[in-house]
Structure 1
């Protein structure tokens, strides 16, 4: 147990601190939840236009934080990015319905159906973000898009005027874009919209000094939209990726324990190790050891969850076992999966091992990984439904598996025909479908795309593997691995 705190008290702190829902759309960022992992500094630089990241890595969190003056100021101080304090930030697109700032999905669909060009649409959003009176006074987006299309000279003059005004004020006008997977349910239209947005983002970067876009986007959408945009490579060299190291993940966890629990329990936790700093707004920064030192983190997590995933070291060490079994094929773990697994672990411990001599039981961690796997597969089904179709024929198999065996299962199940049918009719279960594989008829290329997405990985001997975060919920076995999720 953690020094000075009983397992029961520490478990209660975990219960208070870990979010009940790890979906970014349900939680508003606050000083208590704001965490600044070392890997994310570049992504917040106003000069970085494209910020790539998969589900649950922090795109929406940073989008919302940059729109908040107080949170942006905290990030500027901790990342030492002074320019963030001289930002005027506006939303150009997001999950929240804000029709005065940008058209929602239904309006976007209607605009495209009526023949609106993505370039005119995004330019209209830009002019509204810049407070151009002619656009603000128009009541509908259809009228705004029409005005933009019919007044190209006025558009250019308005952009130049806003750029000069920002220079005089000593600020950067930053327009932020998030939730682009909500743009349109059809892949071709979503690609057109992303392409138009990226073109305008590059134009602002190249032709103005003080007007900037920051586009939070999934890597597959950036790649797909970029194929319709020859100059997208110029944005690739200016892009940042939201990644999380193991120490970043545990640093987030300890930050939550020191900030999000009840005042008394969080204070008790902070008192166990010297070096916590109170910077602003009752926000406490963990000591460096809890942020970047794996050995110190391991010691603290061992006091919380015990050293091993069973009776001895042969079952694995809890500190490394948890992230290792949540990694995708690119060796990335999303904080959403990490926190979700820990939340489940605490619940299992409370329900089944309340008298355990640590705050978290290793069986809870094991079940937490199973639950996180199910959630991750549901997420990828929403984002990329064709992935589930491609992996489904492997159900009941064991990994690692030869590539020839994978292809044989696909051929027997007529996978390419299924993928083509799905692409034509869309997904009847989820109307937000936007993407399909590049080449459904080319099975080696399909394997390559699954590897790029992190769903598969290739071992040194050439065989294919699925990381546990996907394998478990897809009911694919591995000798000695975490058990597959049993059907109810």
Structure 2
């Protein structure tokens, strides 16, 4: 048990093991960081076309992991998906610039501005992924898209031939798409591109046996782009969501402690807990009870952070308090927010509570939630700038709050006019907007959309609430809740 490690040793291990900058686009996954939560198994099935998830839940992580032969084999073994060992994987779009495989954002804009249809663009990407010689011989994406547009019959023959060859080889050709929020800054153009991509993904699913797309996408982008064609419901029925349970989150945490710290401290942590299995490449798998048994996890986390968020149980139990205060309105916590909050908690403890009896002080946990809230609001401001515009007029108020009071505050703030201006010329900083509300003129519908996004939730008595992960950074109060971050 970890009672064999001192608080200082555990604190050092936590500081070493927990990731710093939480940026999935710049940190590549490896065997030591590969974690396979039970809820993600379906998302990796080659037959699942759409994988939905918000920021920080693992879309880019799995995109990169599936492109890596070693990581894909590990995932195939642990999830027992044998078909993952018989796939040929290619990137069809991602955050990294790979002009040989797909156009970058600037090229995308130029192609659309020149009148290129999204269907022709994505078909040209497909033909490059399938290594069709006539397309690979062309030096620019403009030429490739023009060839695809002018040769529909040859395109069909090439796709059928690739499907037959993959079938003969006993493999599936899997084309992956990620970072779709970077496709285009304007909502209408992004929706057109997503719609064209999803149409082609559905065509591959229905008309071929061994050619498949896997599209990692935010739920709001799927609803917005997928809603542009009737057969999108067939993709919805085949979609998977990247969700995280509390036990998944703590399983990830313990996985990091056993794999990412200095060799000596991680080895000592594994030895004291016992039951760890040595996989490959110095990758260690936590015992089952640390992965899925909430009581065992609570016991272990209590040794690290103490039992309570204060003097006694009335302040809350640390194990449940942390995820509960990071949940959005759909009761989901992103692992990025979870690990970031823990990292802040450790740093805060080192700076202010170095002689505390536990590796993490409960005030550090509280500070971690405050910082995670600030980060989450910043992220949603980047992804959906209109959300920040809609919630900002509620600053200084208390939740839960009556819907009529929210609408009154919006009316007084001129929200409708602000959203209209934002849609026309960009957000208040001048950046172009990728997405906007479906109907900015209808305030009740706007509230419904905020509830769908998890920014708001409706209580049983009809009043509206904001989860702490948004409420704190938006400077909205709640009696007895985690206080907002004080301005420095």
- State the TM bucket, normalised to the shorter chain: over 0.9
The 1-side partners of 2:26 and 2:320 are apart by 29
The 1-side partners of 2:423 and 2:404 are apart by 25
Q: Output one character per residue of 1:148-192: Cα deviation in whole Å (capped at 9) or x when no partner.
A: 000001100000000000001110000000000000000000000
Q: Output one character per residue of 1:171-229: Cα deviation in whole Å (capped at 9) or x when no partner.
A: 00000000000000000000000000000000000000000000000000000001212
Q: Output one character per residue of 1:246-271: Cα deviation in whole Å (capped at 9) or x when no partner.
A: 00000000000000111110000001
Residue in 1 that maps onto 2:315: 315
Residue in 2 that maps onto 1:102: 102
Once the 2 structures are TM-superposed, how far is the Cα of residue 431 of structure 1 from its aligned partner?
Answer: 3.8
Residue in 2 that maps onto 1:114: 114
Report if aligned partners of 2:426, 2:432 keep a CA contact under 8 Å in 1. no
Residue in 2 that maps onto 1:72: 72
**Mapping of residues 264-279 of structure 1, within 5 Å:** 264-279=264-279
The 1-side partners of 2:150 and 2:85 are apart by 37
Report if aligned partners of 2:19, 2:343 keep a CA contact under 8 Å in 1. yes
**Runs of at least 5 residues in structure 2 that lack an aligned partner in the other structure:** none
Residue in 1 that maps onto 2:400: 400
TM-score, length of structure 2 as denominator length: 0.99
TM-score, length of structure 1 as denominator length: 0.99
Once the 2 structures are TM-superposed, how far is the Cα of residue 430 of structure 1 from its aligned partner?
Answer: 6.5
The 2-side partners of 1:128 and 1:430 are apart by 36
The 2-side partners of 1:413 and 1:431 are apart by 21
Report if aligned partners of 1:58, 1:242 keep a CA contact under 8 Å in 2. yes
Residue in 2 that maps onto 1:434: 434
Residue in 1 that maps onto 2:248: 248
Once the 2 structures are TM-superposed, how far is the Cα of residue 432 of structure 1 from its aligned partner?
Answer: 5.8
Report if aligned partners of 1:302, 1:318 keep a CA contact under 8 Å in 2. yes
The 2-side partners of 1:374 and 1:4 are apart by 36
Once the 2 structures are TM-superposed, how far is the Cα of residue 4 of structure 1 from its aligned partner?
Answer: 1.1
Q: Cα RMSD between the aligned structures?
A: 0.9
Report if aligned partners of 2:50, 2:235 keep a CA contact under 8 Å in 1. yes
Q: Output one character per residue of 1:95-140: Cα deviation in whole Å (capped at 9) or x when no partner.
A: 0000000000000000000110000000000000000011111110
Residue in 1 that maps onto 2:411: 411
Report if aligned partners of 1:184, 1:432 keep a CA contact under 8 Å in 2. no
Residue in 1 that maps onto 2:354: 354
The 2-side partners of 1:432 and 1:177 are apart by 23
The 2-side partners of 1:274 and 1:18 are apart by 21
**Runs of at least 5 residues in structure 1 that lack an aligned partner in the other structure:** none
Residue in 2 that maps onto 1:195: 195
The 2-side partners of 1:274 and 1:142 are apart by 58
The 2-side partners of 1:123 and 1:430 are apart by 34
Three-state SS of the structure 2 residue aligned to 1:26 is coil
Once the 2 structures are TM-superposed, how far is the Cα of residue 330 of structure 1 from its aligned partner?
Answer: 0.3
Report if aligned partners of 1:182, 1:432 keep a CA contact under 8 Å in 2. no
Within the alignment, does 1:126 sit opposite 2:126 as a pair? yes
Report if aligned partners of 1:382, 1:430 keep a CA contact under 8 Å in 2. no
